[in-house]
């Protein structure tokens, strides 16, 4: 097994608990470090036409400019060097270099509420007049009350409400709804389009991995429909490498054209123990690198870390109340508790947002 | 829309009905035309370590040596030239060049019985002593009686039997079972490993498409588990580009290791109207090229042909009783009836195995 294990002491030091839920209002405005990863502007209403090309191979030192030198960056660079060096006992052929990333809280922000929930709230409110039966539905009540704590525990029920709200829409109509929302909605704290609140260090890491022959996937509790319209431009990850929760769709003929229509039923919840299942269904090989940030990623990280081959399991620790948010064991959204314990016990790499990341977000679009 | 429509008359000529089910015993033994697509030898028990590299761009004329000159080959070459030529009104950016192929009967043979059914027969037989309740199960009775006609109509029920037969196996154990079977089983007519009964012209077409920036996927009614162990070596299609039927798996911890365990329940049947659904779930964009051979591919072809963008819909017509099998409208396995009517009506390209393919199978392995 690759020696990517760190001492428990250093993990504990890196992961010391900080007060949760201190909101941040300051936004670091830093120069966008060009890496060939085009960010989706507020008005991104057309599908990406090309996958962001990986940059030419770059030296390890120059590859991750928004990562501060430290154990996390060194661990990543050592792992990548080791699995890509032919002749290394830990060499992994390119086809098996599968890297999976959670989305919410790992590639973009998730506070004060999963961004998809903000979208769903608007959708469910719009559909509510047709659904008086929702009046006593706990998920509906929590949505209307913006009770983020309750919503965090009702993810499946919220998905179910949305499934009913959008039943009968074609997938193309639904896609337009999402693109329109993303083009106009703004984050309540940062007053920026949600699609700009992606993490610059992770954009660099994704590009660095691809430049080293990795295939990068998203494995998220969010739905495939909500991610696919923008993640290709934002992260360079094409729709076919987006694994997420999904709703049942049915094939129908409309005016002689084959169409997919959304049905009022959840198909799959890609969270917690669902993540290894989603990976199995959609990828069919075990990843060698997995990156998450919360207990919803625990099983994905465990699965990646199982077996004897080289692997690297990473967690973002949200400990930067100034530049982003600070939350972990007691948070209602993105709770990091059991996965943190397991990271400490098993030597997974915990990345401190405050200490390891020089920059949080890319510069705002002009 | 791209002008890939052919006259109805020529389609009818290409697709004239031939007597079904004439078995072929002669195997054309032709030199393997090297295209960088390594075929899985009988003993392929290790996973492919790299995706078959696409060949360097080749001239259109030289790209498909096992395709005889004729309308089908010309239509394919014209389509590929048109969508890849920058400045063409039908230009399609590489990221959107999605090509989907059915497997059984389109990329490899499927007579006298879907090869996976032969595998399942062995599995269900082995499990039968533990399941006296199967005695009156129609799918079980058809399997034991080798009643291929009945089995063809009981695909879901057969999958269900297998799901029960293998419940409790880890996915790794099941994978080994499949590899072992494939390494030893032989086709009853051709006395060759099943994995050698792939179509040489299609190997060339897959490589030609990839050399032109297409991403190639399998979309099959067969299960993901049965295809993934060998299709990467056979077709150059990696596991994550294999869409198929699947069984429910559950994440469990075994001795501290994250493991996926098969459950006695079908997850998804990727056949007929399920194919566009599978494409939506796993790819998230509409293909521009789809290749099938039977009514189970009808909706996949319809879906690909829907909309205003350039597209190419193709069907293999099994009309070569000498070199393979001849069957179509009345066949129990791989019935081509409604899809043929629609091909004629909508100008899809029908490929005559007898007339359009110079070679059927690659040369046997030494």
* Secondary structure of residue A111 in the 3-state scheme: coil
| Distance from the first to the final alpha carbon of chain A | 47
* Secondary structure of residue A29 in the 3-state scheme: coil
Using alpha carbons, select from A317, A321, A319, A318 the residue that is nearest to residue A26.
A321
User: Rounded to 5 degrees, what are φ and ψ at B46?
Assistant: -105, 145
Least confidently predicted of A15-24, A357-366, B105-114, B209-218: A15-24
Q: What is the pTM of this model?
A: 0.84
- Asked whether the bond before A112 is cis by omega within 30 degrees of 0, the reply is yes
d(CA B92, CA B94): 6
Q: Give the tens place of pLDDT for each residue, A112-132.
A: 989 998 898 888 888 899 999
**Cβ-based contacts of A282 with chain B (< 8 Å):** 240, 282
Q: Which of B83, B95, B269 would you mutate first to test chain A, the one with the most A CBs within 10 A?
A: B95
- The domain spans of chain A are 8-43+50-111+192-356, 115-184
Q: Give the tens place of pLDDT for each residue, B140-191.
A: 999 888 888 888 788 788 888 888 888 899 999 999 999 999 999 999 999 9
**Cβ-based contacts of B255 with chain A (< 8 Å):** none
CA neighbours closer than 13 Å in the CB half-sphere of residue A228: 23
Q: Give the tens place of pLDDT for each residue, A158-202.
A: 888 888 888 899 999 999 999 999 999 999 999 999 999 999 999
Using alpha carbons, select from B307, B289, B296, B308 the residue that is nearest to residue B348.
B289
User: Rounded to 5 degrees, what are φ and ψ at B67?
Assistant: -95, 125
> Under a CB-based contact definition with an 8 Å cutoff, are residues A339 and A333 in contact?
no
**Cβ-based contacts of A217 with chain B (< 8 Å):** 240
pLDDT in the model for residue A58: 54
Q: Which two tokens stand for residue B362?
A: 């690659």
Higher pLDDT, A128 or A37: A128
d(CA B304, CA B223): 22
- Residue B240: Cβ-neighbour burial (10 angstroms; 0-12, 13-18, 19+): buried
Domain B8-43+50-111+192-356, architecture per CATH? 3-Layer(aba) Sandwich (3.40)
Contact across the interface for A305 and B258, Cβ inside 8 Å:
yes
Q: Which strand ranges, in their side-by-side order, compose the sheet holding B289-292?
A: B257-268, B242-254, B215-223, B98-101, B289-292, B312-317, B349-352
> Under a CB-based contact definition with an 8 Å cutoff, are residues B262 and B268 in contact?
no
d(CA B230, CA B48): 8
Contact across the interface for A246 and B284, Cβ inside 8 Å:
no
> Under a CB-based contact definition with an 8 Å cutoff, are residues A258 and A251 in contact?
yes
pLDDT in the model for residue A150: 86
Please, which residues 318-347 of chain B have a Cβ atom closer than 8 Å to chain A?
none
Sequential DSSP letters for B15-60 = T----TTEE-----------SS-PPPPTT--S--SSPPPPPPP--H
Distant-in-sequence, close-in-space partners of A255: CB < 8 Å, separation ≥ 6: none
pLDDT in the model for residue B144: 85
Judged by a CB distance cut-off of 8 A, whether residue B269 touches chain A is no
Contact across the interface for B282 and A283, Cβ inside 8 Å:
no
- Residue A188: Cβ-neighbour burial (10 angstroms; 0-12, 13-18, 19+): exposed
How many angstroms away from the CA of A228 is the closest CA of chain B? 7
Sequential DSSP letters for A37-48 = -PPPPTT--S--
Using alpha carbons, select from B294, B338, B286 the residue that is nearest to residue B312.
B286
> Under a CB-based contact definition with an 8 Å cutoff, are residues B350 and B315 in contact?
yes
Pick B306's closest partner by Cβ from A47, A249, A257: A257
* Mean pLDDT rounded to a whole number for chain B: 85
Distant-in-sequence, close-in-space partners of A212: CB < 8 Å, separation ≥ 6: A57, A80, A84, A97
d(CA B107, CA B37): 13
pLDDT in the model for residue B9: 33
Angle between helices B155-165 and B115-127 (to 10 degrees): 40
SS (H, E, C) A248-280: EEEEEEECCEEEEEEEEEEEECCCCCHHHHHHH
Please, which residues 200-239 of chain A have a Cβ atom closer than 8 Å to chain B?
215, 217, 224, 228, 232, 238-239
> Under a CB-based contact definition with an 8 Å cutoff, are residues A306 and A282 in contact?
no
User: Average pLDDT in the B8-25 region?
Assistant: 31
**Cβ-based contacts of A276 with chain B (< 8 Å):** 251, 258, 260
**Residue B349: beta bridge partners?**
B314
pLDDT in the model for residue A308: 87
Least confidently predicted of A298-302, B167-171, B290-294: B167-171
| Residue A48: pLDDT over 80 | no
Judged by a CB distance cut-off of 8 A, whether residue A303 touches chain B is yes
Whole-number Cα distances in Å, A42 to A97, A173, A202, A242, A337: 33, 20, 20, 21, 34
How many angstroms away from the CA of A258 is the closest CA of chain B? 5
Q: Give the tens place of pLDDT for each residue, A200-253.
A: 999 999 999 999 999 999 999 999 999 999 999 999 999 999 999 999 999 999
Judged by a CB distance cut-off of 8 A, whether residue A251 touches chain B is yes
Please state, as a whole number, how many other Cβ atoms lie within 10 Å of the Cβ of residue A110: 26
Q: Which of B281, B285, B290 would you mutate first to test chain A, the one with the most A CBs within 10 A?
A: B281
């Amino acid at each position: 097994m690759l020696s990517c294990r760190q001492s428990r002491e250093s993990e504990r030091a890196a992961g010391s608990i900080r007060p949760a839920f201190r909101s941040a209002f300051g936004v670091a405005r830093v120069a966008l470090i060009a890496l060939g990863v085009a960010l989706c502007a507020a008005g991104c209403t057309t599908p990406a036409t090309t996958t962001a090309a990986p940059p030419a191979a770059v030296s390890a030192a120059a590859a991750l400019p928004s990562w501060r030198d430290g154990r996390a960056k060194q661990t990543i660079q050592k792992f990548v060097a080791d699995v890509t060096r032919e002749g290394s006992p830990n060499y992994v052929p390119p086809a098996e270099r599968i890297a999976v990333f959670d989305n919410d809280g790992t590639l973009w922000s998730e506070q004060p509420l999963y961004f998809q929930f903000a979208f769903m709230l608007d959708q469910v409110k719009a559909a509510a007049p047709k659904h008086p039966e929702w009046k006593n539905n706990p998920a509906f009540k929590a949505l209307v009350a913006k009770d983020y704590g309750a919503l965090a525990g009702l993810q499946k029920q919220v998905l179910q409400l949305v499934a009913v709200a959008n039943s009968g829409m074609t997938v193309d109509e639904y896609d337009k709804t999402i693109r329109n929302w993303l083009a106009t909605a703004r984050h309540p704290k940062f007053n920026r389009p949600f699609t700009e609140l992606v993490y610059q260090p992770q954009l660099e890491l994704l590009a660095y991995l691809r430049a080293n022959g990795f295939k990068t996937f998203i494995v998220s509790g969010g739905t495939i429909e909500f991610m696919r319209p923008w993640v290709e431009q934002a992260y360079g990850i094409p729709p076919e490498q987006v694994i997420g929760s999904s709703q049942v769709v049915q094939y129908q003929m409309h005016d002689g054209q084959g169409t997919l229509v959304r049905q009022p039923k959840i198909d799959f919840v890609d969270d917690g123990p669902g993540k290894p299942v989603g990976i199995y269904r959609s990828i069919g090989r075990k990843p060698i690198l997995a990156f998450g940030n919360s207990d919803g990623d625990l099983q994905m990280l465990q699965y990646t870390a199982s077996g004897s081959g080289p692997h690297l399991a990473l967690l973002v620790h949200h400990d930067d109340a100034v530049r982003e948010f600070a939350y972990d064991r007691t948070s209602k959204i993105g709770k990091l508790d059991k996965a943190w314990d397991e990271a400490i016990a098993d030597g997974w790499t915990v990345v401190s947002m405050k200490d390891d990341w020089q920059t949080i977000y890319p510069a705002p679009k002009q």
